[in-house]
Amino acid sequence: MTNPLLAEGALPDFAAIRAEHVLPAVQSRLDALEAGVEAIVQAATPRDFEHVLLPLERLHDALARSFAPVAHLHAVADSPALRAAYGEAEQRITAMQALLGQHRGLYEVVQAVRARPDFATLAPAQRALAEHALRDFRLAGVALPEPARTRFRAISERLAELGTGFEEAVLDAGEAWRQHITDERDLAGLPPSALHTLARCAREEGLEGYLIVLRQPAVQAVLTHAENRDLRERVYWAWNTRASDQGPQAGTFDNSARIAEILALRHEAAQMLDYSDAAALSLADKMAPGVAEVRAFLEDLLQRARPRALVEREELRAFAAAELGLPNLEAWDIAWASEKLRRARHALDEEEIKAYFPLPQVLAGLFELVERLFGVRVREHGAASVWHPDVRYAEVFDAAGQRIAGLYLDLYARGGKRGGAWMDVCRARFRDGARMQMPLAFLTCNFAPPTAQAPALLTHDDVLTLFHEMGHVLHHLLTEVDLPGVGGIDGVEWDAVELPSQFLENFAWRREGLDRVARHHRSGAALPEALFQRMLAARHFQAGLHLLRQLEFALYDLRLHAEYDPAHGARTLELLGEVRRAAAVLPPPAWQRFPHAFTHIFSGGYAAGYYGYLWAEVLAADAFARFEEEGVFDAATGAAFRREILAVGASRLALESFRAFRGRDPDPAPLLRSYGLTA
């Protein structure tokens, strides 16, 4: 039987992939990788790029081609069998990566490539690949003596296992909680689109009435619109205690022990490599110069944002007391009261706005905008094999009509699918002699699905999310680097990788951008100018509170890793309390367990790197400022952004790419203006 994960087709055959295919395919790739590495090390051929690093790229790319579809299916179409196969495969891959990262023979042949007199004549991407490989060897403990080297490898394997367990606990906790409602009066305040979503959830489980599940659209709808305060409290309680020792499932999926072990192992690994802590180790391959500089950056923003946030808090409290009969504003009241205040102040109705953002129109307009900015066409193609009927596939064509990339879009919330929104790599661009592998990407969201009465209707926040993830997609698909290890988003400093995504969001705030994506789903009318102006007026609504929330996440993550002390353990909640006393002006209840579902830092690659969202936001706001100066759809500016940012991947440092586009170092003033703050 042919294993679809080993097939060499242009696209993966997702419909044919089964759990039983995973381990045979992955083990086959790992065996080939191990044998290939030994052949490289033992070969009598020259120690040059063509005989060392290019064969390594082939081996690693082959493994990625087999495992990327599995990792994606684990996130969007999970099942017990697939989860078990994925977990075992990930452990085997991690073990092999740890082993190869400490392979001194391989390290020496890569060093030999770097030491060649003609190294400087290699292409920038080739030199970058060698430099990244040597750095990664050092960070993998290649220079450690035994038994430390073996211990470091064991830590790497255990951390991968813990990360998977952490994410699965969050998913399981979300899937396990249900609130069945049969009387629509208990859902007073929810807009029709949200009621349709909850009714659909009930039908999927064979129930009458409505079913609230812990998926982002349902939770957001209840907390923002439900008049029933007890219901808001129950949903908030369940959502904010997932995978913890608190809440309706207290202890069942508890991530507390995983958090403690993850932090301990990260600290131990950092010190084995002569770094003071895990935060310092994390920054070794990032754009920011060090922990002190990152903390100073965050605390400077905190001092700028806090006065405004305090004003916003008092405005909300006064409004809730005077207009809503809530003298005591609780955590589960904040989104609801904020929406009431936003409507009162700016006359904005989310349902009115959503009517102008039907998903088919938003996608069509987004693709048109991308064509105008970067000279590429995105066209849907119905012939691809997919994992769910809702999934769509699109192809990307250059100005000459040549197909250059592909994109899978999985945009609706459903059971067995991880919450949130993300872009991920399916395949990387790889030119190997006459063979050219086309880059493929996944774009995943969790929007409320369409109903029998209307297409999927997006909030403006949803539109911003879609633009954000499309920015990541373009970074991957429009690369002109032919080596997977430094092409697209791979190898780009983690605190700069958000630049294209946050940059693209700006076009969803411009009339020129909205004219392409906004059409009333019934009449086809454009977004009224009066409504657009009200949206602009509300853009900075509670901007201080929003920025403080991001700073709370970033400071907590940084300090959690920088201040870990084995003598005192993780201090997970104690440290969170310290950060909140400085950063949170609307502190949540003591039983809230935000860290236990903080997948970004415990299973998602953002450990001691969450600050990167704000760090990159400085770059993105300043980059967009050039478009404002030269014309939002200026062809030369779009071509420059594509050439200097999107096309180069990690073939040079992110700061060099920014300077090449902007002509200078980053200026934080546009970011502050974007939050309505002064420089």
Cβ(142)–Cβ(107) under 8 Å?
A: yes
Cβ(585)–Cβ(310) under 8 Å?
A: yes
| Residues 137, 139, 145, 146, CA torsion sign | negative
Q: Which two tokens stand for residue 292?
A: 């002190």
Helix (H) or strand (E) holding 403: strand 403-412
Amino acid at 129: L
Rg for the chain, CA atoms, rounded: 25
Catalytic residue among 167, 469, 498, 617: 469
Q: What angle do CA 235, 540, 368 make, to 5 degrees?
A: 90
**Which residues are within 8 A (CB) of 2 and not within 5 positions of it... i.e. 6 or more apart?**
none
d(CA 560, CA 529): 46
DSSP for 16-31?
Answer: G--HHHHHHHHHHHHH
User: For residue 102, which of 154, 69, 158, 143 has the smallest C-alpha distance?
Assistant: 143
Helix (H) or strand (E) holding 208: none
Cβ(583)–Cβ(552) under 8 Å?
A: yes
Cβ(141)–Cβ(75) under 8 Å?
A: no
512 is catalytic: no
CB neighbour burial string for 134-158, b if at least 16 within 10 angstroms, e if fewer: bebbebbbbebeeeebeebbebbbe
In angstroms, how far is CA 126 from the centroid of its own chain?
Answer: 27
φ and ψ of 608, to 5 deg: 55, 25
Amino acid at 509: W
Region of residue 194 (phi > 0: left; psi between -120 and 50: alpha; otherwise: beta): alpha
Instruction: Write the CA distances from 674 to 536, 664, 671, integer angstroms.
Output: 11, 20, 5
Helix (H, G, I), strand (E, B) or coil at 231: helix
User: For residue 255, which of 623, 675, 598, 580 has the smallest C-alpha distance?
Assistant: 598
Q: Tell me 406's DSSP state.
A: E
Helix (H, G, I), strand (E, B) or coil at 213: strand
State the residue for tokens 């592998």: 437
Q: What angle do CA 162, 168, 170 make, to 5 degrees?
A: 105
Number of other CB atoms surrounding residue 97 within 10 Å: 20
φ and ψ of 392, to 5 deg: -120, 155
State the residue for tokens 């809730």: 320
Instruction: Write the CA distances from 25 to 5, 16, 32, 437, 474, integer angstroms.
Output: 6, 14, 11, 20, 29
Question: Which of the residues are catalytic?
Answer: 469
